[in-house]
Amino acid sequence: MTTHATACNRDCPDACRILADVNNGRITALRGDPDHPVTQGFLCHRTAQYLHRQYAPDRVTQPLVRQGDGFATVSWDQALDLIAGKMLQIRAESGPAALFHYVSGGSLGLLQGVVGRLWQAFGPVTTKRGDICSGAGDAAQELDFGLEDSNDIHDLLNCHSILLWGKNAAVSGPHLLPILKQARANGCKVVLIDPVHHKTVGHCDQFVQVRPAGDFALAMAMARVLFDRGLVAAQAAELCDNLDAFAAMVHARSLAQWCHVADVAPGVAEGLALDLAHGPTNIQVGWGMGRRGIGGAIVRALDALCAISGNLRVPGGGVSFYYKRRGAFDTDSLRLADSPRTICEPLFGQQVLQAADPPIRMVWVTAGNPVAMLPESATTAHALRTREFVVVADSWMSDTAQLADVVLPTATLLETDDLVGAYGHHYLGTVDAVVPPLGQARTDLQIAQALADRLGLADAVAGTPEQWRSRLIARTLGPHGIGLDDLRKGYVRNPLAPKVLFADQPPATASGRVQLLGDAPADPLDDPAFPLRLMSLSTEKSQSSQWVRPQSGPMEVTVHPEAAAGLGDGDLASLCSALGHLQVRVRLDARQRRDVAIVPKGGSYLDGRCANALVQARLTDIGEGGALYDQGVCLRPLATE
């Protein structure tokens, strides 16, 4: 038996260092590297159990071409010749914008950018804009600070208190937990602010069960306390632009009025404000809150709270939404040309259908499952079904792959070479193939290169993984004496990332000052026809639509007993939105609010378990994110025959 180290490339803040045991060419066990400063010797459930997917009987290991309702296996040459022929024909007839290359987060490896380079060289073709995951929050932080990054993750040990604001670390990024535990052991207070009672509550000292999207009002209530008690930091006027307009907005309502909107007791808001003022306090901004119509305003309000309370630029402070995961890499080296046209990601279905001059004739999907993961699944599926030619590169028959004309079998995270940074800390890693790809699977880089040969574009993507990785770090890490072999050892922190953000440099905005928001968004609305907000959230058992084990039976929906329309625990019911309905099994949980319905994200659309079948495609206020969790739903008994 041999043991190999690699980094996890999945869409997760943690980017763990994995140790894999290999016996006779087969991986037999996965575990977390005990010496990695963030991985700390354990893996999350979904990756610890990844071998169920790696060796699943339904893994795609040969190229497939549609034949009637099913697929026929073909050779790589046949598949690539067919694809290259279509690409050249469509470009000649309609121009390169008639091809749409869609990439999502199946792998966060930097070498995905080389695949993108092929499409830039071939076109450039149509690509996506906006971001289904974090569009609003990204835009908020860019507006307020001019860039998105965070204090070092271990700086949390300098906090007097930590506000986990809409974040389920226990499920979505469990490697934060040992640090929270250590912080608490040092006397730090950890507070969770979330409409949903979830596993992370058990790791906190206080839980504030705010109204969905009530966070803006809660932040205003806290700001009101800071102003009323003279607790706004003395340097706030110097650090921030727009302080007067911000103050006027805060004073437009009383503490009690703001708290009413937030559905939080005034005493609780006062306590949180006092924690902030005492400092140092770090706000860990979760990714869920941004997925609301007012998501950008909410994150901007948290940015403002941090800045006016004196918690920016200090150890133990900060308002952390993201770690600049590509910050150590020379991504400019991958860029050739900008797209002539973009499709707004959350509106994928509508916009692919509506695109004209030229219409979109071909879609290529890399590392994404838009049918299951983008809102309005039926529209997305219809948009794909009605294209002339759809290619999906994936290792499994996702909902999207099922609708493709050609499915190309890709290597998994254990079969590929790549580079990763993390969006939950500043450590870097190399992904190094533990075993060769199963069957005929190939890496995305190999696929791009084989295709480039047929398109006369070999030069645009030529290079071994080692060469591409070296190119990506030569100009950035090279001057710090860091090479690939150093990264391969696994414990290199990005030397370009500051330990305390903005401690040595001002915010990266035009004025060098924090931009405070000055306009309040509308209050969250109730809709009596659909009184529950559909919260389709991360589950331990899956990475988005990549479930550890196949799912069967109806999707479970968790609601408060008084929000269950008289249904009992375990009952079958219909979960309805303005778009349609799904058959679900009801779970009652008295710890939940009466205005939410909680389901797992990532269920299969074709199997009738997908939240996005019910979620309307709506944009966030800024950043072209998806307002995924605003969706109103109701529960109804199943119609009896």
Ligand X SMILES: Nc1nc2c(c(=O)[nH]1)N[C@H]1C(S)=C(S)[C@@H](COP(=O)(O)OP(=O)(O)OC[C@H]3O[C@@H](n4cnc5c(=O)[nH]c(N)nc54)[C@H](O)[C@@H]3O)O[C@H]1N2
**Residue among 92, 117, 110 at smallest CA distance from 362:** 92
Shortest Cβ 238–ligand X spacing (Å): 30
Question: Looking at beta carbons only, is 113 or 602 nearer to Mo ion?
Answer: 602
Residue 23 identity (one-letter amino acid): N
619 DSSP assignment: B
How many C-alpha atoms does 180 have within 13 Å on its Cβ side?
25
What Rg do the C-alpha atoms of the chain give, in angstroms? Answer: 24
Shortest Cβ 637–ligand X spacing (Å): 24
60 binds, among ligand X, Mo ion, none (CB under 5 to 8 A by kind): none
431 binds, among Mo ion, ligand X, none (CB under 5 to 8 A by kind): none
Contact 564, 586 (CB under 8 A): yes
Shortest Cβ 12–Mo ion spacing (Å): 9
Question: Looking at beta carbons only, is 191 or 243 nearer to ligand X?
Answer: 191
Q: How many Å apart are CA 534 and CA 598, to the nearest integer?
A: 6
Residue 313 Rama label (left phi>0; alpha psi -120 to 50; beta): left
Question: Looking at beta carbons only, is 149 or 394 nearer to ligand X?
Answer: 394
**Residue among 288, 361, 363, 295 at smallest CA distance from 128:** 363
213 binds, among ligand X, Mo ion, none (CB under 5 to 8 A by kind): ligand X
For the chain, first and last CA: distance in Å? 59
113 binds, among Mo ion, ligand X, none (CB under 5 to 8 A by kind): none
Tracing tokens 């899956």 back to the chain, one arrives at: 542
Cβ contacts of 293 within 8 Å, gap of 6 or more? 213, 521, 618, 619, 620, 621, 627, 630
Shortest Cβ 535–ligand X spacing (Å): 6
Residue 54 identity (one-letter amino acid): Q
Shortest Cβ 300–ligand X spacing (Å): 14
Shortest Cβ 605–ligand X spacing (Å): 11
442 DSSP assignment: B
537 binds, among Mo ion, ligand X, none (CB under 5 to 8 A by kind): ligand X
Contact 285, 316 (CB under 8 A): no
Give residues in contact with ligand X (CB under 6 A): 11-12, 44, 46, 104-107, 132-133, 165-168, 171-173, 193-196, 198, 210, 212-213, 215, 286-289, 292, 366-369, 373, 393-396, 398, 410, 444, 535-540, 542-546, 601-602, 611-612, 615, 628-629
Angstrom distances, CA of residue 133 to CA of 172, 214, 476, 537: 13, 20, 27, 12
Shortest Cβ 5–ligand X spacing (Å): 19
Shortest Cβ 497–ligand X spacing (Å): 20
The answer to whether the peptide bond before residue 280 is cis (omega within 30 degrees of 0) is yes
∠ CA(287), CA(290), CA(296), 5° rounding?
140
3-state class of 365 per DSSP?
strand
Shortest Cβ 105–Mo ion spacing (Å): 6
609 binds, among Mo ion, ligand X, none (CB under 5 to 8 A by kind): none
Question: Looking at beta carbons only, is 121 or 611 nearer to ligand X?
Answer: 611
Question: Looking at beta carbons only, is 301 or 634 nearer to ligand X?
Answer: 301
Shortest Cβ 447–ligand X spacing (Å): 8
568 by Cβ neighbours in 10 Å (0-12 / 13-18 / 19+) ranks as exposed
Question: Looking at beta carbons only, is 221 or 374 nearer to Mo ion?
Answer: 374
Q: How many Å apart are CA 516 and CA 509, to the nearest integer?
A: 11
Question: Looking at beta carbons only, is 171 or 232 nearer to ligand X?
Answer: 171
Q: How many Å apart are CA 266 and CA 571, to the nearest integer?
A: 38
Shortest Cβ 521–ligand X spacing (Å): 12
196 binds, among ligand X, Mo ion, none (CB under 5 to 8 A by kind): ligand X
Question: Looking at beta carbons only, is 476 or 546 nearer to ligand X?
Answer: 546
Question: Looking at beta carbons only, is 241 or 275 nearer to ligand X?
Answer: 275
Question: Looking at beta carbons only, is 155 or 417 nearer to ligand X?
Answer: 417
Residue 635 Rama label (left phi>0; alpha psi -120 to 50; beta): beta
Question: Looking at beta carbons only, is 124 or 130 nearer to ligand X?
Answer: 130
198 binds, among Mo ion, ligand X, none (CB under 5 to 8 A by kind): ligand X
Give residues in contact with Mo ion (CB under 5 A): 133
Name the phi and psi angles at 626, rounded to 5: -105, 130
